[in-house]
Amino acid sequence: MWSVPRALALIVAFGLLLAVPAVAQTPWTAPEGIDWRAGTIHSEGTRLAAEIFSLESNSGRKLPCILMAHGWGGTVRGLRRDALAFAKAGYLAVAFDYRGWGNSDPRVILAEPAPEGKAGRFQAEVIAIREVVDPAEQGRDWLNAMHWLQSEPMCDTARIGVWGSSYSGGHVLYVAAHDKRVKAVFSQVGGMDSRFVVASEQATARTLDEATRRARGELPYPEPGAVEVGALRGAPIRDKLMDYAPAELAVQASHAALMFVIAENEELFDNRNHAIKAHAAATGVKKLVTLPSIKHYGIYREARQQAQKLAIDWFNEHL
């Protein structure tokens, strides 16, 4: 059976975790003229931390909304610059952390079997699952964030767009394919096919072996901070990735206006199997833009303002 890691905490259960945040953060202050507040989204019983941005001059008004979440291993802190740009352009920007990331609560599992026949609340030790990459859980977090938006007082629910970058550049296709309330999609340098975990006999063997060992209680979830894919923080739950290919959901997402921005010198994957494939398959309003001379992370550096303008122009046109 599993050894009990440092992540053990005592709870009064049915999902209420009594623990301090995993990472101490310096309080963030919004720039002058920006209304910033925190929100809480409940996703399958787990509390997700959200941050909500708008202009103070738009206080109390219904605004078109842009829903945002990070890619592989990121947190809301890395999205604030983009959220501020959208707020200054007149949007309500809502950014959130997936379960187990940033200030969101983790998913928890019992360290020992539950008392037989026990329902409701009971005391138990739990193992907190943090900083793993599970697209099935992250996709549900996106969909529950969409549900949450429907009663946000400042959100014009007829005008909701989704913004994603890198791994979340695939998630935005997933959420649009599963929720027709999404009217516009902006995906930049999107990773849209996770089947690299079964791309060879060796990779397939590892993926299936991990799944078998975890199902038998012999393999714990990875520790926070694990790095197993390149230099990306966050270990994948490989059997959850083996069938995840949002590039193939473009047709189902075609009710929304779809924009794909790619890096000309993308080094992490072949654009032809990701955004280019999705764009070709989409049947509705769509656009593909290649940013010249940049690699993947150039979208956050030298091309960031250009990408922000492309996103704002796209949302202005379709929201």
pLDDT at residue number 114: 87
Phi-psi region of 166 (alpha: psi -120 to 50; beta: other; left: phi over 0): left
Q: What is the pTM of this model?
A: 0.91
261 forms beta bridges with: 188, 289
Per-residue pLDDT at 102 exceeds 80: yes
Tens-digit pLDDT profile for residues 254-309: 999 999 999 999 999 999 999 999 999 999 999 999 999 999 999 999 999 999 99
Cα separations in angstroms, 159 against 63, 150, 256, 310 = 8, 11, 11, 18
pLDDT at residue number 26: 67
Token output for 52: 């909500």
Tens-digit pLDDT profile for residues 165-219: 999 999 999 999 999 999 999 999 999 999 999 999 999 999 999 999 999 999 9
What is the number of residues in the chain? 319
End-to-end CA distance of the chain: 52
Per-residue pLDDT at 20 exceeds 80: no
Tens-digit pLDDT profile for residues 29-59: 999 999 999 999 999 999 999 999 999 999 9
Residue 25: which pLDDT band, with cuts at 50, 70 and 90?
A: low
What is the overall mean pLDDT for the chain? Answer: 92
Token output for 251: 């047709």
Cα separations in angstroms, 237 against 122, 130, 291 = 29, 12, 32
Lowest mean pLDDT among 5-19, 123-137, 176-190, 275-289: 5-19
Per-residue pLDDT at 225 exceeds 50: yes
Of 295, 196, 209, 298, nearest to 247 by C-alpha is: 196
Contact 144, 43 (CB under 8 A): yes
Distance CA 203, CA 316 (A): 43
pLDDT at residue number 8: 32
Q: How far does Cα 210 stand from its chain's mean position? A: 24
Domain 32-103+131-318: state its class.
Answer: alpha beta
Distance CA 214, CA 208 (A): 10
pLDDT at residue number 27: 81
DSSP code string of 132-182 = EE-HHHHHHHHHHHHHHHTT-TTEEEEEEEEEEETTHHHHHHHHHHH-TTE
Per-residue pLDDT at 248 exceeds 70: yes
